[in-house]
Amino acid sequence: MKVLKFGGTSVGSSKNINNVINILENYGKSDTVVCVVSAVGGITDKLLLAGNQALNKDHNFLETYEDIVSKHFDLIKELNPSDSKTILGYVEERLRGLKSLLEGIYLINELSPKTSDKLVSYGELLSSFIIAETMKNRGLSANRKNSQELIITNSNFSKAEVDYSITNENIKDYFKTVQEDITILPGFISKSKIGEITTLGRGGSDFTAAIVAAALDVDQLEIWTDVSGMFTTNPKLVKQAYPIDKISYQEAMELSHFGAKVLYPPTVQPVLSLNIPIHIKNTLEPEAVGTIISNDETNSTAPVKGISNISNIALLTLEGSGMVGIPGFSKRLFETLSQEKINIIMITQASSEHSICLAIEAQDAEAAKVAIDAVFENEIELNKIDPIIIETGLSIIALVGDNMKNHQGISGKMFSSLGKNNINIRAIAQGASEKNITAVIGEKDVKKALNTLHEQFFEAQNKQINVFITGVGNVGERLVEQIKQQKKYLKDNLKIKLRIVGLSNSRRMIFDEHGLDLKNWKADLADSQEASLQGFFQNVKALNLRNSIFVDVTANKEISELYAQYLRESIAVVACNKIACSSDFENYKLLKRLSLKYNAPFLFETNVGAGLPIIDTLNNLVASGDKVNSIQAVLSGSLNFVFNNFNDSTKFYDIVKQAGAEGYTEPDPRIDLSGVDVARKILILARESGVEMNLEDIENSSFLSESGQKSGSVDDFYETLIQDEAHYQALYASAKANNSQLKYVAKFDNGKASVGLQEIPEGHPFYNLEGSDNIVMFYTERYPTNPMIIKGAGAGADVTASGLFADIIRLGND
């Protein structure tokens, strides 16, 4: 004999019911089959909705009722196109009973748990009848038996407890006499000893099937649903979740207790002691292997088997000095909740006994508070304990696995990966058997937490990085193209799934939670919503994705002022914009602090020397205990270009103009030629070496003519270059006479920094610096005389973009 159960979706459409009938017909050829069915998908909720509408004198209850009627009528007609009359006749009569019940609720303004159970029982009664009659119509040997005549409970309406001795006898007796190959039973519903209609709790059809399977001691219980087994985590919230082949009873119970809706938690209990395996199968994909729940060795050594979650949780905290060392507090607390029939999902108690914290369903919170405050009224009055504190808007997440006890560091990994993603944990509990580790977190973080934990424990090698880029000018555009080109390589070789989720220029911004399709990103961006800096931030924050990185590819001051906001949300910041790191020292320090506090890296390698690994090298030197004595560097690609091309047969003005036209200078060339840009860079290197310094502390002796330094506009400035050609030619002539090259040099020495034009003699490492190359020499305690030298292209869109890209990947490898 076989026991199968089909859930709401499985019997939710004529197509699915036809699938069910096919499966049953096949099974029925070789064995006697018992089939437990749920109400048609969504009908239990609709019945409850109609009941509540009637209770609240809301006339829409009739509309909801009509909805229920037409759903069933449609099914009957679709399933029995040529002969639906008899079934319709019976169903119409039952539905009239339902309507009278709803009208009664409307008239007397009352919906007791007892009436509510009667109301919802219609769902399973109708579905089981329709399916059995359809099978009979098709000539199959089938019959419907009302399980209320078999399953007997107490009168604990809405979640009644089964009297197994009577129930088991009833089931055994009944099935001794059954003639048909296939018996259809309505799930979920039962009767009390005095004949009242009761139900076994929401999702209880699974339980009905388990009760029947155990009473008949069958070989296997099959639960057919709308997913291909019990998944590693809720597949609706985590795309990467996958079905677990085999799982123990205990693990399945823990996962379902903590919210894996695919199995109603009490289901395991009747079959456990008889060792009857539960096979979870998918009606919509019958060939999928599904999940076997049993006591068999699973051969799996993975410590974590699954992750589950429960929404709508409230946390109750009872605390006060009067609780310490006084016996009986917990007893009174738990008794009170038990009398109120409030289910406790999780308990934690501080070892000082100073407080107890309980997680319950949010809908029970108010009743719990009233009852507990009443019971402890005296103690509260005497200030021995505080009135109970209730927090809502919470969720529970749980890691489950029999093997967790044999592995160190699981909870460490769990909490550090949640912490890295700024997920605040309100309470923690670990079962004494170490089969689960449970945490209470904010509802808004559930999806992010499940995805983070799933990645941590089930996709060990894969890390998803969610990138948000502001600024798609020259460099930004190259960055997007490089990411587009390298995506597959990163996934295949570094196991990094890099996605651009948001893009913005100064006019438009575009987002896609699942990663932008980069095929036509420019056109897509041009067609998207209007951009704003705060709007961009709000979107990044609301998406709340793990491993989020904000990338600033602008030179905009306002954007640099938003880094703190991003870091406070644990969103990493990668910037080629130099303004933040060369701003006031306090602000630079604040960003560093926030980065540490919120576990959000702040990387700005491209602030100095574009893609050259200058800052990273410096950080490594300092971190490994080296001390920087001095730095000498040529850090301006633009000034290098200018002085490498300027000589006595060219004009200074022409060279500066050419540098601008070729993209080597800022639109305002004074930023480069005044040395401010280089001063910012040496300032950043000095700070990263551990020195407190501000831009004003850097000595900057300008090589510009006096009128050049005073010019009020870009045009005026160019004019001075023409006027003062002699001044610039004199600089060149002096260098030539001294057999030297002109280089714009930045220095940091003994805590002091300076920038300025210098004549570099032959033989010096700077002498032969070509094109727009940069060079940095670090003299440190470990490199006292022969410096560590980093040299190479220090400007240009491609190398800067690749420097940003390297910072992003560095986070992926974190």
Binding site for ligand ADP (CB under 6 A): 7-10, 38, 203, 225-227, 230-231, 233-236, 260-262, 306, 308
Q: How far is the CB of 93 from Mg ion (least distance, A)?
A: 28
Nearer of residues 10 and 134 to ligand ADP, judged by Cβ: 10
Helix (H) or strand (E) holding 268: helix 268-272
Q: How far is the CB of 362 from Mg ion (least distance, A)?
A: 21
From ligand ASP, ligand ADP, Mg ion, none, which one binds at residue 188 (CB under 5 to 8 Å depending on kind)? ligand ASP
Residue from 46, 305, 578, 681 carrying the catalytic annotation? 681
How many CB atoms are closer than 10 A to CB 781?
A: 11
Binding site for ligand ASP (CB under 6 A): 7-8, 38-39, 44, 123, 187-188, 202-206
Q: Give the single-character DSSP code of 582.
A: T
* HSE-up (13 A, CA, CB side) for residue 441: 23
355 forms beta bridges with 319
- 476 near Mg ion, judged by CB under 5 A: no
From ligand ADP, Mg ion, ligand ASP, none, which one binds at residue 228 (CB under 5 to 8 Å depending on kind)? none
From ligand ADP, Mg ion, ligand ASP, none, which one binds at residue 202 (CB under 5 to 8 Å depending on kind)? ligand ASP
Which residue has 């610039």 as its token pair? 728
From ligand ADP, Mg ion, ligand ASP, none, which one binds at residue 234 (CB under 5 to 8 Å depending on kind)? ligand ADP
From ligand ASP, Mg ion, ligand ADP, none, which one binds at residue 736 (CB under 5 to 8 Å depending on kind)? none
Strands, DSSP E only, in 283-342? 291-294, 306-319
Q: How far is the CB of 7 from Mg ion (least distance, A)?
A: 5
From ligand ASP, Mg ion, ligand ADP, none, which one binds at residue 116 (CB under 5 to 8 Å depending on kind)? none
Burial 758-770 (b: 16+ CB within 10 A, else e): bbbeeeeebeebe
Q: How far is the CB of 74 from Mg ion (least distance, A)?
A: 23
Nearer of residues 45 and 725 to ligand ASP, judged by Cβ: 45
Q: How far is the CB of 204 from Mg ion (least distance, A)?
A: 8
185 forms beta bridges with 36
Nearer of residues 127 and 547 to ligand ASP, judged by Cβ: 127
Q: How far is the CB of 127 from ligand ADP (least distance, A)?
A: 11
Q: Determine the angle formed by the axes of helices 205-215 and 164-177, rounding to 10 degrees.
A: 70
d(CA 290, CA 281): 5
Nearer of residues 186 and 708 to ligand ADP, judged by Cβ: 186
Using alpha carbons, select from 189, 158, 220 the residue that is nearest to residue 33: 220
d(CA 12, CA 283): 11
DSSP string spanning 731-761?
Answer: HHHHHHHTTEEEEEEEEEETTEEEEEEEEEE
Quote helix, strand, coil % in the chain, to nearest 5. Answer: 45, 20, 35
Nearer of residues 9 and 720 to ligand ASP, judged by Cβ: 9
**β-strand pairing of 142-144 with 182-186:** parallel
Q: CA 610, 615, 618 angle in degrees (round to 5)? A: 145
**Residues sharing a CB contact under 8 Å with residue 472, sequence separation 6 or more, in sequence order:** 480, 503, 504, 505, 525, 553
Nearer of residues 40 and 101 to ligand ADP, judged by Cβ: 40
How many CB atoms are closer than 10 A to CB 14?
A: 17
Binders of Mg ion among residues 165 to 204 (CB under 5 A) are: 203
Q: How far is the CB of 429 from ligand ASP (least distance, A)?
A: 27
d(CA 596, CA 204): 48
d(CA 396, CA 90): 45
Nearer of residues 261 and 354 to ligand ADP, judged by Cβ: 261
418 residue type, one letter:
L
d(CA 189, CA 198): 6
**Residue 592 among the catalytic residues:** no
Using left for φ > 0, alpha for ψ between -120 and 50, and beta otherwise, residue 302 falls in beta
- Residue 796 tokens read as 């240009």
d(CA 381, CA 365): 22
From ligand ASP, ligand ADP, Mg ion, none, which one binds at residue 9 (CB under 5 to 8 Å depending on kind)? ligand ADP
- Residue 554 tokens read as 């602008």
Q: Determine the angle formed by the axes of helices 85-108 and 113-137, rounding to 10 degrees.
A: 170
Nearer of residues 211 and 746 to ligand ADP, judged by Cβ: 211
Q: How far is the CB of 41 from Mg ion (least distance, A)?
A: 10
User: What's the full length of the chain, in residues?
Assistant: 814
Q: How far is the CB of 278 from Mg ion (least distance, A)?
A: 13
Residue facing ligand ADP at closest CB distance: 7
The answer to whether 712 touches 613, Cβ cutoff 8 Å, is no
Nearer of residues 187 and 637 to ligand ASP, judged by Cβ: 187
Strands, DSSP E only, in 386-512? 389-400, 425-430, 436-442, 463-470, 496-504, 508-511
2-21 mask for Mg ion (x: CB under 5 A)?
-----x--------------
Nearer of residues 293 and 503 to Mg ion, judged by Cβ: 293
Catalytic amino acids? Answer: 681
Binding site for Mg ion (CB under 5 A): 7, 203
